[in-house]
Structure 1
Amino acid sequence: MTPTPSLLKPEPYTPQRALYLFKNYADSDNPNVIGPEGFERLCAEAEIPMEGAMPLLLAWQMNASEMAKLTKEEWVKGTDIFKLSSLSALATALADLESLLIRNQKPLERSNKKDPYDRTQYWKYADDTKGAFHKFYTFCYNLVKPPQSRNIDMETSMAFWSVLLVPKYPIMTEVLEFINEKGSYKATNKDLWTMMLEFCTTVQPSLTDYESDGAWPTLLDDFVTWKRDKSSNGRPGNAMEH
């Protein structure tokens, strides 16, 4: 199904247009929800890659309560904050956030030209990218965790880490290799999820400043032992840098 030109054109924001855009992807049996099928079609038609971070950034900015689902209320609030009501503006906003928070690109330059969407929120994130990413990272854990569970299964955790952390912290490539090789870690609780980001942001890639008595999760202690053993056996890991 090809989106109509009016959905693609970067037209000025109006609440009515934003609602029209929502209705185009809402479930046929529940007009108040964009379900997984509509969410995927929305991303496809806006040329938002499903395998990257942009769909997660979309969920975060809409404050979605469920994975690959958006309610009308979430959509109305989210699109009003960014003042966007076209696929073009949506794609631009998400690409800007991905560049800033995932790819560590320099913030956009402020200009007098009319922005394709309201960048007020973007500038707030640009003023504190570390804090913004931490909020986004925490949101993703709550988004993907099953409601009745305290954990995320390890396969899902690894998929999320590969999207959220690998582009920012190359050492995560080796962490994922280690988890894969071991195959004995089954789930991620909130502490491990939080400490994985802490590890990436505070420990040198050389691991010289890693303190095994520093209350790190067992998985990270095991990873450091594994990497040091690899290095001492003449198979040094890649030179990784933050």
Structure 2
Amino acid sequence: MPLPGSKSREASIIADFKSISGASEKDASRFVKKYKTLEASLDAYFNDPSSINGGTSTPSKGQEKKLGEIWEKYKDPSDSKLVKIDGTLAICEEIGVDPSSDSVLFCLAADLGSKVTGEWEKEPFVKGIASYPGNIDSLSSLRGYLPNLRKKLNSDPEYFKKVYMHTFTLAKGQDFGARTLQLDTALDLWSLFIPPALSSSPSALSRTSDNTPPQFTETEFALWLEFMKKKGKAVSKDTWSLLVDFIRSIDKEFKEYDDEGAWPSTIDDYVDYVRTNRSSN
């Protein structure tokens, strides 16, 4: 016999699952009943698309053919191996994405194996889109799926980190040996990624210790941007990566910060900056 309240909790999880994933009531119910928690259910749904429809759904030859035709339509006339910037801009117009301000383009870049901003090889482009739930085989159906990717980015910790780290690689440009990201670029990207995730429920930046909402807020984020502007230096990969871990671990008062921990010196200095700022106010 179910425990009192268990049905209502399950219904709430199913509703959240549907909201984030865009799945049908049937699929949402099946995943939640099998995996119990929202996080585990979403992880299974998004990271094992073959499990959709009872494990029988695999990309069809017809689907891959149609996706291949889309790629062929937008490939660069001077380079038959790539869709390049002009093709990407045309695709963005078709799917309703503003490439200057929509983080979902970075989701696509990570999922479809883009190695250079605005460039797409055929095989990962086709296989990446085919891996999404829903048998997507047109740009209009891809457009319909994008809200799910945006929600996933802001609510799924693992997916957020995947896209966020792939973005660092893309944003360095074609200087593949570079180890840092230009400060202005980093500031713009942080402003694109961090606030929506902080305000999402569930949040991709939830505290790792207990999966509660992040205690790092817009106020601390504004201080981070202010601090980095004053610092005025390019951003290392360690700082880029570990900022996410810091946000997911720090308490509101910064009392739990381990000054002897293996944090980048930039984060050490930021903590000092916040503490000084607070003590002077």
TM-score category (smaller protein): 0.7 to 0.9
Count of residue correspondences: 196
Tell me which residue corresponds to 1:40.
89
1:144 matched to 2:171? The reply is yes
1:211 matched to 2:258? The reply is yes
Give the secondary-structure state (helix, strand or coil) at the position aligned to 1:135: helix
Give the secondary-structure state (helix, strand or coil) at the position aligned to 2:195: coil
1:23 matched to 2:75? The reply is no
1:25-78 deviation per Cα after TM superposition (whole angstroms, max 9, x unaligned): 221222331111211221122101221211100101102111111111221221
Q: Which runs of 4+ in 1 moved over 6 A?
A: none
1:81 matched to 2:131? The reply is yes
1:87-107 deviation per Cα after TM superposition (whole angstroms, max 9, x unaligned): 2221233320111222x3xxx
Tell me which residue corresponds to 1:167.
196
Quote the sequence identity (%).
Answer: 25
Tell me which residue corresponds to 2:37.
none
Alignment of 1:1-242 (within 5 A): 14-50=63-99, 51-82=101-132, 83-102=135-154, 104=155, 129-145=156-172, 146-169=175-198, 170=218, 171-180=220-229, 182=230, 184-234=231-281
- In the TM superposition, residue 138 of structure 1 has moved relative to its aligned partner by 2.1
| CA distance in structure 1 between the partners assigned to 2:103 and 2:195 by the alignment | 11
CA contact (8 A) 1:48 1:55 kept: yes
Instruction: Give the AA of the match of 1:214.
Output: G
CA contact (8 A) 2:64 2:127 kept: no
Instruction: Give the AA of the match of 2:168.
Output: Y
Tell me which residue corresponds to 1:117.
none
- In the TM superposition, residue 194 of structure 1 has moved relative to its aligned partner by 1.6
Q: Which has the higher contact order (CA 8 A, sep 6+)?
A: 1
Q: So what's the TM-score if we normalise by structure 1? A: 0.73
- In the TM superposition, residue 86 of structure 1 has moved relative to its aligned partner by 1.4
Q: So what's the TM-score if we normalise by structure 2? A: 0.64
Q: 1:207 to 1:201 in 2, by over 3 A?
A: same
Tell me which residue corresponds to 2:36.
none
**What are structure 1's unaligned runs of at least 5 residues?**
1-11, 105-128, 235-242
| CA distance in structure 1 between the partners assigned to 2:79 and 2:222 by the alignment | 41
- In the TM superposition, residue 154 of structure 1 has moved relative to its aligned partner by 1.7
**What are structure 2's unaligned runs of at least 5 residues?**
1-59, 199-217
CA contact (8 A) 1:172 1:200 kept: no
- State the superposition RMSD in angstroms: 2.0
- In the TM superposition, residue 199 of structure 1 has moved relative to its aligned partner by 0.7
